[in-house]
Structure 1
Amino acid sequence: MRVGLVDDREIDLDKLNAIVDGMDGVEVVFSTLSAEEAYEQIKKESIDLLIADIEMPHLSGYELADIIHTHALHIAVIFVTANSGYAVHAFELNVHDYIMKPYSRERLTKSIARLLEKKSSADIAGRLYIKQKNDIHILQKKDIIFIERSGRSSTIHTRTGSIKTYLTLNELEGELRERDFLRSHRSFIINIHYVNHFSLYAKNSYTVTFEGIEGQAMITKEKVDFLQAHFF
């Protein structure tokens, strides 16, 4: 698991480093006293977990978590803070944990261990099960190129063909939480690894073409900007 650490108090950051560095299966990708620097690192580096203080100057840990949540980045967040006042709002952002200072080594390591176990289970579950009348289709998630909603059904386009399902895009999006997939438009989910070309369609939208398939998807300008900033 790749982890980023940010706390504007050096003594607290040193404590985080000492605890996290000593855990098996965990790599500290960046450790910084600046939330702005943490934000720049999140854009450049792929991490699985951000451990952050909340109250920091200029950019708060809560604002960092809000950016992660708003842009659907697959980064878990653990807050370590001396302020309990953000707890309700933090869990609205679906943070993994909210740890009050001062905390013990065991409290933090147990929280990270729970996340490691959850991530391991998610890595194993790399398949999508689609029920269709009397059949069950088992799809490798890595083979899904894009998904299109039309009328009352969704079409899943894969490297080997297409399958229709009555699952909604919201339901499918819940099954495809991997970093590879992006809800590019209200009617489309795309696998960013197959994207080949964007072509301007209207003022605020583009068509997307993919490697190995003739079908096209749509993407909003906002999501194109997001991809350019965080992936390409």
Structure 2
Amino acid sequence: MTASPPLRVLLVDDERPALDELAFLLSQDPRVGDVLTSDSATDGLRILQEADVDVVFLDVQMPGLTGIELAQVLSRFKQPPRFVFVTAHEGHAVDAFDVHAVDYVLKPVRAERLAEAVRRAVGAEPLPTRDTEVAVERGGVTRFISRADITHVEAQGDYARLHTAADSYLVRSPLATLEAEWADAGFVRIHRSLLVSLAHVREVRMDGGRCTVMVGPAPVELVVSRRHTRELRDLLLRHRTAP
């Protein structure tokens, strides 16, 4: 029987001594590989947007975004991690399991109790994937937009700007990453700095060898690079004639 790969875990706790102790205990567990740490839920969310994590161990009461609120955000990820609450407070257990936590461990943490939480995390069914919503943050508030509403995506350095008919949102994700992850949803590259949703392309215009597309309900004109022109037209043809 093939052994499962080591877990990559993220620990989120605003109390450094508790964070260091938890990191030490988990590093001793042979089922655990990489151990990432964060001292706030907001920073933990940033890490999760940049790295693949199997299990998140998180405190409940933290300044700003609470552990319960972070778990609610995590449950809406495309591939949600499993999560375990590690807290000094018993009163939040119902809320924890309402957001499908695999375990609820009370502080001070005993090594054998933590080992049981890891066992439950290993055996837990992953949360259902959600690939129709995208988490975006503005002014410290995280909200969710439907990917189906995104007309095009614009590269901005290590970030990408998601455009909808009504607004735009900056996310910490390179354009190449979104191109790979969203290809099956009909997002294609038309320029080194642009992706478009085929579903939102209203017109393709050719003028003197220059190709542009009109996207969205109040159409925005976007330039298509020469190297992507033929591919885009072929993709649009297949997309429009697909059953």
Give the aligned CA root-mean-square deviation in angstroms.
Answer: 3.2
Give the match for residue 18 of structure 1: 24
Partners of 1:60 and 1:118 lie apart in 2 by 23
Q: Which amino acid aligns with 1:107?
A: R
Equivalent residue, structure 2, for 1:194: 184
Q: Does the 8 Å contact 1:82/1:100 carry over to 2?
A: yes
Name stretches of at least 5 consecutive residues in structure 2 with no aligned partner: 1-6, 134-145, 149-180, 189-196, 202-215, 218-231
| 1:118-133 equivalent positions in 2, closer than 5 A | 118=124
Pairing partner for 1:85 from 64, 76, 91: 91
Q: Could you tell me which residue of structure 2 aligns to residue 46 of structure 1?
A: 52
Q: In the alignment, which residue of structure 1 is the partner of 2:118?
A: 112
How many angstroms apart in 2 are the aligned matches of 1:47 and 1:117? 16
Matched letter for residue 95 of structure 1: A
Calculate the TM-score normalised by the size of structure 2. 0.53
Pick aligned residue for 2:14 from 8, 11, 19: 8
Relative to 1, partners in 2 of residues 1:93 and 1:117: Cα closer, same or farther, differing over 3 Å?
Answer: closer
Structure-2 separation of matches of 1:94 and 1:110: 17
Question: 2: CA distance between counterparts of 1:29 and 1:194?
Answer: 32
Q: Give 1:72 deviation, angstroms.
A: 5.3
Q: Which runs of 5+ in 1 are unaligned?
A: 123-173, 204-208, 217-232
Provide the residue aligned with 2:64 in structure 1. 58
CA distance in 2 between counterparts of 1:91 and 1:76 reads: 12
Letter in structure 1 aligned against 2:27: D
Q: Which amino acid aligns with 1:194?
A: D
Deviation, structure 1 residue 52: 0.5
The corresponding residue for 2:33 is: 27
- Matched AA of 1:36: T
Return the offset for 1:215. 5.4
Residue 86 (structure 2) pairs with residue 74 (structure 1): no
Cα pair 1:54 1:60 within 8 Å, conserved: yes
Q: Structure 1: how far apart are the matches of 2:131 and 2:238? A: 19
| SS state at 2:105 partner | strand
CA distance in 2, matches of 1:91, 1:117: 16
- Over 3 Å counting, the alpha-carbon distance change for 1:193 and 1:106 in structure 2 is farther
Q: How many residues align?
A: 150
Shift of 1:53: 0.6
Answer yes or no: is 1:182 the counterpart of 2:131.
yes
1:128-139 counterparts in 2 under 5 A? none
Aligned CA distance change for structure 1 residues 81 and 63 (closer, same or farther; 3 Å): same
> 1:89: how far off?
1.5
The answer to whether 1:36 aligns with 2:26 is no
Instruction: Name which one, 1 or 2, has greater alpha-carbon Rg.
Output: 2
Deviations 1:173-216 (Å, cap 9, x if unpaired)? Answer: x8xx4x5x62467x9xxx8463443132765xxxxx9x9x9458
User: Equivalent residue of 1:182, what SS?
Assistant: coil
